[in-house]
Amino acid sequence: MKGQDNQMDSITSILTPIHREGHRWVVIFAAVTVVLFLIWNPLGWLGVILTLWCLYFFRDPDRVTPSREGLVISPADGVVNMITEASPPEELGLGDMTRTRVSIFMNVFNCHVNRSPVAGKVKRVAYRPGLFLNADLDKASDANERNSLVIERADGEQIVVVQIAGLVARRIVCDVTEGHDLAAGERFGIIRFGSRLDVYLPQGAVPLVAVGQTAIAGETVLADSISVEPHHV
């Protein structure tokens, strides 16, 4: 019975729907694969591998999001590569006061669909063009192309989430505008191909993740901003 469950899980993972941003790319990869087969058979099989990778890259699985108030949920799949104190992007107009920033790096094998870290209203959306440095670098937060959102919870607390383009990323997609109501874990965008998301936690919130930890969008708890439990350093 357990073996049947594992087989079903494997089939489900293969049949995961893909994000609409991926439809055009899958068609392009498939068309190129046909041409490669006409040119030389081994090249065609390389095209098949790349087409399967494209399907995998744009996968858009369902997630089960923790629903307790005060939780800040990961907006991206990837590795927590940095936790530091920093000011939110200046274009948001939130001032120079620093907050704890949790950075999640997405490589080309991670799911790139971005999800809201909290439930709330989108108060500000600000896009800024920039460079395409390796998103794993600290300076990518300031130098790279980015799209920033301020999400205000019902209690008035504001959380900042920033989509940052990476070395090979050439398109940041944000599907929400100012005034949009988001549920925690709700999809709000995607980045192609390899990138990073920064989350600026509420004042006083202590991260519950560590550098090097793998995060899952819509599921991993980054912080609990209303917990009364003591934090141990």
pLDDT surpasses 80 at 144 = yes
pLDDT tens for residues 171-181?
A: 899 999 999 99
Share of the chain above pLDDT 70, in %: 88
Higher pLDDT, 231 or 186: 186
Higher pLDDT, 193 or 165: 165
Higher pLDDT, 153 or 138: 153
| The predicted structure's pLDDT at residue 11 | 44
pLDDT tens for residues 25-59?
A: 888 899 999 999 899 988 989 999 998 988 887 89
Mean pLDDT value of segment 147-153: 97
Diameter of the chain measured on Cα atoms: 65
| The predicted structure's pLDDT at residue 10 | 46
Higher pLDDT, 10 or 16: 16
**Cα separation, 114 vs 64, whole angstroms:** 14
Active site residues: 195
Strands 146-152 vs 171-174: parallel, antiparallel or unpaired: unpaired
Mean pLDDT value of segment 164-174: 79
Mean residue pLDDT across the chain: 87
117-126, 139-148, 181-190, 215-224 — which is least confidently predicted? 139-148
The three-point CA angle 166-150-194 to 5° equals: 15
* Placement of tokens 């293969």 in the chain: 14
pLDDT tens for residues 69-105?
A: 899 999 999 999 999 999 999 999 999 999 999 999 9
pLDDT surpasses 50 at 189 = yes
| The predicted structure's pLDDT at residue 16 | 73
Higher pLDDT, 69 or 185: 185
